[in-house]
A and B are shown apart, each in its own frame.
Chain A
């Protein structure tokens, strides 16, 4: 069997850096109950992955020579779980110093050494959306990660074929950071809207200036002076041009509807709402005008704007035709998103398939990667989670997590110490006594002093 995790020796010789492309594997997963999510559940079925792609789904498949066989009889095979809102594997989350920081990108600060990646794998999660924080009205761009743990190279974690996404944030976080913290706009929800509208208007002018320059440049004898370059404006132009999906941190129905209107005014169609605790109040609008909402199962009341919430939110949204997903926003919840999804059966009575779609095909749709992952279908990437029982059962235990046909978690080969990097001097790594896993407001602590707990 191939060694999944590079040994120290290989790391020493820079083996990982030599691989231009990430690893693609082949395997035949035999005899499991295959939950395709999009095409029903198939008993006693085999899934053949070759060179990272699902090639065949059927009964009695035989492994081509050299392809290893994984016996999944008595087990449940589902698509790799996708978390549409996470901050694991990042060593900076917020560039909180300006209300608009569209130019920054979490893809620049990936930390492949974060043990949180392995913990997520151990919960069947193959993809996470590593988001910028919620300190700014228009925050930074996010990166979609495949949890190819074991590499020291941040590039290996990037899902290269995922489209660009960007974080927006409404309500208390941006007004607290900039209004209260720095005494600049936005200080209120109205200010947040103004900041966003101004930014897009400015971007239109920027686009215009460059268009004029480029047109002029082509003319004979013309000597135009180039305008100033501004990656912040360019990113906003790309949003206006439909190249970037907005993922907006939001809670209240009024501000959700506000952003829908703003996007309509500027002709922006790619819009997903995150958290969306009052989404149930504007479900038809979300269904009609957006790419969906990514919500918590039952998490609220950690600040004033999050009191009006319900555990029925996901079910109400889904029944109203909103593309709905359940996310973690946490290095802890990410390990059991299948439990989080299961809660919608208690609160809202969703079917198995509906519940599982909340953590597979729906987040894939919201991230613009549903044609590649999110279900078990021929032609999709070989991202699979295998469970000992039905994943919505509280007795289910994740057995194997597979990405691109390569095993990254195997409960039978789960070493005690999975850290990739170890301090050369410290016997015990620092222990954090306070809750450390909600990082939406990470890197903004300087604004509030240490006493205030910035939860979410």
Chain B
């Protein structure tokens, strides 16, 4: 038997969540309560206004979610929160061309075999273009923060489903308290995949191609019928309001494009063939093997979001014990793998050389791999300007939102990525993100390897021993919490437990990722609260036996924490 006991700690976090507490900077306004100010001035920054266009000692003024001024002599209003940005680099927030960030697969979407697989309903066939991705969005999803902290402020998101899952929307990745508030452009694309309906028609690409043609043709006829009736209903059979066919109308009229998730060469080719036959505006999304299709892509004015996911490079296995013939055969095979690998990682560079403006699709990628994968693409020929354009101006243009997104210009939405060094350099870290006018601050990690500047040879590692018992206290809007942190040295690194006393009661939590470097101490606590995982990131500085730092709860804000090492225990 399972007995459910709500931990006091969880309760406390829940209450904290309801309060919608923000840190000094974070303005997560999940309750609709006004933040302290909606005006921010990033003073004296290096502003990369657009790919290849850099401004120095420039101030960016943001007001009510809009960039209101960018310049060297910007008047800073008295209500502005001023952020000294002398050593910071400001870019437009990144735009993800195709993803499912914050989208949850509906529970009823399992494999349902139709009663008669030969005559399925639209839904059984996976043909649901009338569905909106917004019906599947969870605005509390931790994925929003995951992608935001990688630099993204905006994403074109698409629903789960099969052949025609529904329409995609462009949303802000800021922690808005409601789905509606996230929407920048609702239902702006028709999402398509080569995913069959299992044992139901269409089960694979054969049926999907045929069904596309049938649906499109019938949408045209239905449009004709509707107009005939609208012009004068007298004597005309009443047209049936077919939601599926009606979803095609904006596509027939070229007002809304079709985004195909087409990773492979053959899938992409099939999408291009459908485009050629039917004439709809096409975006190839999540393309991974598109280099041989460049001419057809150009000729058809097809837009492209290349996949941000790259194949994992696997080092060829050494063949020491092999006979000579086998070794040479293996070597030849390895050479071909190497050649193939290069084509994949050079895809972006190949598209750049061909003069195609492309964006990126994060749908198959991990947010944490962004920089690593960009580096691989750049090592294989992608220019920095093209990489930045693919993250900002190009997707803005492809999504038809160039007047709102993509550059750091007055009048555009306040979507900024602010890093400690030029973004494409190795040491650059994201210090702030501003999404839709909301500010998020991130802890800067000290460079890991460098010997310390004093030249005393005391390299890396901590100048203190974190092992021991610490008494901590933290003032929160829910009242003060306090307790003990017990850190022990393990075979590698440290383990620890944190005992937390809140006004609601006490609990004990595991501390993970305990790191002590230089004078910095940091660790994490993961807490599951009613289906949501809340990660607390604690980090700060140790001086003697005193620790001062921040406890960051992500979307619920950050607050100070201090601790003293207890010598007696």
Taking Cβ atoms with an 8 Å cutoff, the residues of A that contact B are: 8, 11-12, 14, 16-18, 91-92, 94-101, 103-106, 108-109, 111, 113, 132, 140, 152-154, 178, 182, 184, 223, 225-232, 416-417, 419, 421-428, 443, 446-447
Determine the distance from Cα of A385 to Cα of B266 in the docked complex, in whole angstroms: 30
Asked if A446 meets B199 with Cβ closer than 8 Å, knowing A229-B217, A427-B317, the reply is yes
User: A111 touches which one: B210, B213, B266, B340 (CB < 8 A)?
Assistant: B266
Q: CA A108 – CA B194 in complex, angstroms?
A: 12
Closest chain B CB from A180 CB (angstroms): 13
Q: Which of B21-29, B200-208, B475-483, B559-567 contacts A (4 or more CB under 8 A)?
A: B200-208
Docked-complex contact A424 and B213, CB < 8 angstroms: no
Please list the residues of chain B having a beta carbon within 8 angstroms of any beta carbon in chain A: 116-119, 197-207, 209-210, 213-214, 217-218, 221, 224-225, 228, 232, 235-237, 239, 265-266, 269-270, 273, 291-296, 311-314, 316-317, 329-330, 332-334, 336-337, 339-341, 343-344, 346, 350, 354
CB within 8 Å for A14 and B204 given contacts A425-B311, A425-B312: no
B269/A153 in contact, CB under 8 A: yes
Q: Are A14 and B293 in contact (CB under 8 A)?
A: yes
Which residues from chain A contact B221 at a C-beta distance below 8 Å? 226-229
- In the complex, which of the residues B330, B333, B340 contacts A424, with contact meaning CB atoms closer than 8 Å? B340
Cα distance A92–B195 in the bound complex, in angstroms:
13
Residues of A within 8 A of B330 (CB): 427
Q: Is the CB of B354 within 8 A of A14?
A: yes
Residues of B within 8 A of A99 (CB): 118
**Chain B residues within 8 Å of A229, by CB:** 214, 217-218, 221
Q: In the complex the two chains form, what is the Cα distance from A188 to B357 in whole Å? A: 57
Closest chain A residue to B299 by CB distance? A17
For B312, the chain A residues whose CB sits under 8 A away are 425
Q: Name the contact of B235 in the complex, choosing from A94, A111, A223 (C-beta under 8 A).
A: A223
Seed contacts A14-B292, A92-B206, A223-B232; 5 additional CB < 8 Å A-B pairs: A97-B201, A152-B292, A229-B217, A416-B329, A425-B341
Residues of A contacting B: mostly: loop
A184 touches B205 (CB 8 A): no
Q: Please give, as numbers and ranges, the residues of chain B lying within 8 Å of A182 by CB-CB distance.
A: 116-118, 199
> B560 to nearest A CB, angstroms?
47
A423 touches B214 (CB 8 A): no
B265 cross-chain contacts in A, Cβ below 8 A:
113, 152, 421
Q: In the complex where A106-B206, A108-B205, A184-B116 touch, is A14 in contact with B294 (Cβ < 8 A)?
A: yes
Q: B225 to A226, Cβ gap below 8 A?
A: yes
Which residue of chain A has the shortest Cβ distance to B238 in the bound complex?
A225
Query: How many A-B contacts are there with CB distance less than 8 Å?
Result: 163
A–B complex contacts, Cβ < 8 Å, 12 sampled: A95-B201, A97-B200, A98-B201, A104-B209, A104-B210, A106-B206, A152-B265, A182-B118, A223-B235, A422-B336, A423-B340, A427-B337
Q: Least Cβ distance of B226 to chain A in Å?
A: 10
Choose among B199, B204, B312 the residue with the greatest number of A CB atoms under 10 Å from its CB: B204
A227 proximity list for chain B (CB < 8 A)? 221
Query: CA of A17 to CA of B119 in the docked complex: distance in angstroms?
Result: 38
Query: Once the chains bind, are A154 and B269 in contact (CB under 8 Å)?
Result: yes
Task: Give the docked Cα–Cα distance between A245 and B17 (Å).
Answer: 69
CA distance A426 to B205 in the complex (A): 25
- CA–CA, A184 to B116, complex, Å? 7
Residue among B118, B204, B311, B337 making CB contact with A184, cutoff 8 Å: B118
CA separation between A16 and B295, bound complex, in Å? 9
Assess the B207–A95 pair: CB atoms within 8 A: yes
- In the complex, residue of chain A having the shortest beta-carbon distance to the beta carbon of B231: A223
- Asked if residues A95 and B204 are in contact (CB atoms below 8 Å), the reply is yes
Nearest A residue to B224 by beta-carbon distance?
A226
Specify which chain A residues have a CB less than 8 angstroms from the CB of B334 in the assembled complex: 427
When the two chains form the complex, which single residue of A91, A223, A231 contacts B205, counting CB atoms closer than 8 Å?
A91
Are A95 and B202 neighbours in the complex by a CB distance under 8 Å?
Answer: yes
Instruction: Assess the B214–A16 pair: CB atoms within 8 A.
Output: no
Q: Do A230 and B214 touch across chains, with their CB atoms under 8 A apart?
A: yes
Most buried by A among B198, B203, B294: B203
Contact A105 B293 (CB under 8 A): no
Query: How many Å lie between the Cα of A16 and that of B200 in the bound state?
Result: 36
Residue from the list A16, A108, A226 in contact with B292, Cβ < 8 A: A16
Q: Are B205 and A109 in contact (CB under 8 A)?
A: yes
Which residue, of B198, B209, B312, has the highest number of chain A Cβ atoms within 10 A?
B209
Q: Which residues from B are CB-within-8-Å of A428? A: 333
Closest beta carbon of chain A to B117's beta carbon, Å:
5
- Distance in angstroms from B567 CB to nearest chain A CB is 54
Closest 5 CB pairs of A and B: A98-B118, A97-B201, A424-B341, A108-B209, A103-B210
B81 CB, min distance to chain A CBs, angstroms:
48
Q: How far is the CA of A176 from the CA of B237 in the complex (A)?
A: 42
Question: Which chain A residue shows the least CB distance to B338?
Answer: A424
Contact B199 A14 (CB under 8 A): no
